[in-house]
């Protein structure tokens, strides 16, 4: 068994950090009125997506290497949607967008995809 590539470790760490930041955005979006529920739901979607990306970068990933790229891209799309919809603070969404972009780069790395696919056989 070959050791886990460092990009997988960093990708999992960034996914967890992004999920925690997105959970903070959930708390910031709630203002006690029913009108804030779409913003809370959007931020909760982003948090779930970041945690899913973090799970894709773990040693025992349940998905193929190319699926991690798709998860990271959908997560980034949700963050961009939140920026356009003003789902949270702009600077918070900007941080999440940078984390999402780095996760896409890590997921697209050939060493990550080949390692994940080799471990699944």
Residue 22 lies in a domain: yes
Q: What pTM, to 2 d.p., does this model score?
A: 0.93
**Residue 88 resides in a domain:** yes
Reported as a single tens digit per residue, the pLDDT across 8-55 is 999 999 999 999 999 999 999 999 999 999 999 999 999 999 999 999
> Phi and psi dihedrals of 115, rounded to 5?
-65, -45
- Please report the DSSP string for 68-110 in residue order: HHHHHHHHHHHHHHHHHHT-S-HHHHHHHHHHHHHHHHHHT-H
Residue 104 inside a domain? The answer is yes
Number of domains present in the structure of the chain: 1
Does any domain span residue 71? Answer: yes
Owning domain of residue 11? 6-119
For residue 1, tell me if it sits in a domain.
no
* Residues 50-103 pLDDT 10s: 999 999 999 888 899 899 999 999 999 999 999 999 888 899 999 999 999 999
């Amino acid at each position: 068994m070959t050791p886990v590539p460092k990009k997988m470790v960093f990708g999992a760490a960034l996914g967890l950090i992004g999920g925690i930041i997105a959970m903070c955005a959930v708390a910031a979006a709630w203002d006690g009125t029913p009108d804030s529920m779409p913003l809370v739901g959007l931020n909760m979607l982003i948090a779930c997506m970041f945690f899913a990306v973090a799970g894709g970068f773990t040693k025992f990933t349940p998905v193929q290497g190319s699926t991690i790229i798709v998860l990271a891209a959908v997560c980034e799309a949700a963050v961009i949607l939140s920026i356009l919809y003003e789902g949270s603070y702009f600077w918070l969404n900007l941080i999440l967008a940078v984390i999402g972009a780095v996760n896409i780069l890590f997921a697209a790395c050939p060493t990550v995809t080949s390692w994940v696919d080799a471990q699944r056989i």
